[in-house]
Chain A
Amino acid sequence: MIEYIKRDVAVIGAGAAGLFAAAETMKGGCSTIVIDREQRAGGILNQCIHNGFGLHCFKEELTGPEFAAKAFELARSADAEFRFGTTVRSIKRNDDGTFTLEMLSRAHGVTLLDCKAVIMAVGCRERNRGNLAVPGRRPAGVWTAGTAQKLLNIEGVIPGKSAVIVGSGDIGLIMARRMSWCGVKVQAVIEIMPRPSGLVRNIAQCLDDFNIPLHLSHQVVNIHGTEHVTGVDAAPLVDGKPDMENIKHFDCDTILFSVGLVPSNELMLPLGVEIDPNTGGAKVDSNGETNVPGIFVAGNALHVHDLVDFVAEEAAETAHAVVRKLNGTAPCPRYAANTRNNLRYVAPLKFASGEKIHFRFRPTITCEKAILTACDAGGNEIKRWTKMFVCPAEMIQIELDAPGSDITFNLEEVK
């Protein structure tokens, strides 16, 4: 038996982006179904039991599960429909521009869902040991930080007794504290770059509080152990190369990799969705729409955010555009947004004039003060923003009354 259903909008993923998007498409009068492979709403927020979420969205500091519960309530009170324990296997674009999603679940078997628009709110994946091509043996006990987080916070399993964390991103730092509070001896954090990639305050409250050393400009050069990890070697970088004469050895039974996140694109690629190499996510316009009409992307599936509040805000904006698109009142984004210096990317890449648009950037520099400018196609400055304390760990977001011209954004340090 195959189940056939039809809705206006399919939202894939019931994390922060999916929940906020669904609430808004429902409010806009579009029947919306949210699909998630897990048995409950919230996505990765459920395993982020630490606090620090929600200050922008809910005006209070929440833990991940609390943020998830509140976001779920928003979507549910807007009457969004949910399918949990359901995996979307494929998205097919029909000749009339609608989509058919093939989904599988224990409860319904195979379901074919017809819809007019799809919002991809599928989040991102962690880069792992394989992505870095770390040499050494292949014993058990090597995890990504997020997997270890799920083990600890959802499954209640402590992954080891003594750990080394590779990469100083915020997730790795949060895990250093979490593991220390669980009685795990965290030996060190090893970072290949000359400065930590996470926020200084997380260095302070997650490493300094527990006297965990941070080895900057160090690279993992070997992993020891036959069945299980017994240790790891790190070498200092000299002129970009590991100095094998000065290797530091750490005895440990657990290694966590916290080395960055990449948007999940698998479901969209067969549709011919174009990917921005700078974000790893889809190229979208100011409607949040990809080059395939009807396929929208929001949240960490689009570009990796550092605050869930910005994920939620972006997803809600995309949902508003989806509603307008289905009503035939969406503007047509025809102008291009470009970046010049010190910005790794801008999203969206195309925009409609006459709209108030949020542009989001990731800086490549760290400085106390910087000026961000927007220039039109003729090189004339349209607007400038002074930004205090700029660093790659923090996304920059600005609002602009979009002009009827291409724009180039530029970021310069103010000495």
Chain B
Amino acid sequence: MKKSLICISCPRGCHLEISSAAAGEWLVSGNQCPRGKQYAIQEATDPRRMLTAAVPAKVDGVPCASVRSTSPLPVALIPELLNTLYKMRLDTPAKRGDVLLANWKDSGIDIIFSADFL
């Protein structure tokens, strides 16, 4: 199986190709630095993305709060997380960096406030 993808590690955006050599071994080409290889393998085995969102609030004059994941999340966990976030109606003050959701789906990744709320 051969897969082509674009590296998102830096602005250069190398066109990578990855194929499995043996169990747990990968052949990566097109990368111009070690980060490209790392990204390709990560993308082939466990694709992840940083998640940022605006969560609705239940406060006059403050429609929402901005949040982010503490590190890139497995892509498969994102849709349910977004649904959960959009159903919330925040009304308790929080500081930048405070945890909104701890250890989402046992991923070890928290969702934190990226700005002071209220």
Contacts and interface: CB of A to CB of B under 8 A. Distances in A.
Contacts of A205: 8, 49
B13 A199 contact: yes
B64 interface: yes
Contacts of B12: 200, 388-389
Closest 9 CB pairs of A and B: A200-B13, A156-B63, A65-B115, A156-B64, A204-B6, A49-B66, A201-B8, A63-B114, A201-B13
B44 interface: no
B10 interface: yes
A120 to B, nearest CB: 26
B102 interface: no
Contacts of B50: 50-51
B56 interface: yes
Interface stretch (A11-19, A147-155, A330-338, A378-386): A147-155
A209 interface: yes
A16 B11 CA distance: 21
Contacts, number: 76
A32 B63 CA distance: 33
Contacts of A181: 51, 53, 78, 82
A57 interface: no
A243 interface: no
A201 B115 contact: no
A152 B54 contact: yes
A51 B68 contact: yes
Given A66-B96, A201-B7, A155 B63 contact: yes
B6 A153 contact: no
Nearest to A68: B115
A52 B10 CA distance: 10
B116 interface: yes
A157 B63 contact: yes
A69 B113 CA distance: 12
Given A51-B52, A65-B114, A208 B6 contact: yes
B57 interface: yes
Interface residues of B, number: 29
Contact of A156 (B8, B51, B52, B56): B56
A203 interface: yes
B72 to A, nearest CB: 10
Interface of A: 46, 49-51, 63, 65-66, 68-69, 152-157, 181-182, 199-201, 203-205, 208-209, 388-389, 393-394
B60 to A, nearest CB: 13
Given A49-B114, A65-B96, A154-B64, 20 more contacts: A49-B66, A51-B50, A63-B66, A63-B68, A65-B66, A69-B116, A153-B66, A154-B63, A155-B63, A155-B64, A201-B6, A201-B7, A201-B8, A201-B9, A201-B10, A201-B11, A203-B13, A204-B8, A209-B49, A393-B11
A231 B4 CA distance: 34
A76 B38 CA distance: 40
Nearest to A174: B52
Interface in B16-72: 49-54, 56-57, 63-64, 66, 68
Interface of B: 5-13, 49-54, 56-57, 63-64, 66, 68, 75, 78, 82, 86, 96, 114-116
A249 B64 CA distance: 35
A286 B48 CA distance: 43
Contacts of B86: 182
13 contacts: A49-B66, A49-B68, A65-B114, A153-B66, A155-B64, A156-B54, A156-B56, A157-B63, A181-B53, A201-B13, A204-B8, A205-B49, A393-B11
A204 B5 contact: yes
A49 B53 contact: yes
Contacts of A203: 6, 13
Contacts of B9: 201
A51 B10 CA distance: 13
Contacts of B11: 199, 201, 389, 393-394
B52 A63 contact: yes
B96 to A, nearest CB: 6
A390 to B, nearest CB: 10
Contacts of B57: 156
Nearest to B12: A389
B54 A69 contact: no
A393 B10 CA distance: 13
Contacts of B63: 154-157
B103 to A, nearest CB: 20
